[in-house]
Amino acid sequence: NHFAHALGVVTQGFFLTPFLRGPLKIVSNKEFLTLFIHLFLMNIITVLSYFLKTFLAFSTPLFWGFFLTAFFLLSIDKTKEGEKNIFSLSWKDAFFLGIVQSIALLPGVSRFGAVLFAGFYRGLFYYDSFILAIMSNIFIAGESLLYLFYHIITYKSLLFSIGEEEALLLIVSLCFSMGILLFFYFLFRKKLLSFLGLYVFFVGILAFYLLSYNLNFIRLMI
């Protein structure tokens, strides 16, 4: 899991660089510092929500998360594009983004989709919302990198204990994730994220069916 998230830094950085290179050349140190503070506030809210969720032991079925992600993606194409950029965020924007990003702690909810929707809702430009969503994912990927470094330093090894079936599942998951990311990037450029929303919605229906099937099977066994 951590290995997969760490690779997300490289993958998403590839998509982020072309969009961020231009604005960074003309932004002042004050604007950059303001962006950093707002991103810090946004992620601190998410971290606090994580501890609150752990304390309350709160969770929801996986399919509800897929349905919520589908709602986020379907809503983006229907939301009017704003006029703000990432360097003009306010503390209210950061607070709202942090709250919405915290929803992604629930199983099946896409952090990327949640932040992208929140950016649109707060009146950001189309591509600025995209940059903000990638930045939020890199925050989580950075946590995974720290975990991997901790493992290497503690056990003085680059190797991890993993079975053949787990390794195969990891490779399939990475290939699938890369395919979905490329598909998302294509739909994003065409402003057709509703198609991805429909895909996630049908995945939610499949998850609901599989969960219902397993519950019925358990009842029969009992």
Specify burial of residue 9 (Cβ count, 10 A radius: 0-12, 13-18, 19+): middle
- Rounded to whole angstroms, the maximal C-alpha distance in the chain is 66
pLDDT, tens digit, for every residue of 96-152?
A: 998 998 888 888 888 888 988 999 888 888 888 887 887 776 666 666 666 667 767
Rounded to whole angstroms, what are the CA distances from 167 to 159, 163, 175? 12, 6, 12
Q: How does DSSP classify residue 34?
A: H
- 78, amino acid identity: K
pLDDT, tens digit, for every residue of 17-73?
A: 666 666 666 667 788 788 888 888 888 888 788 778 777 777 778 888 899 999 998
CA of residue 37 relative to chain centroid, distance: 20
Torsion sign, CA atoms 28, 29, 34, 36: positive
Whether pTM exceeds 0.75: no
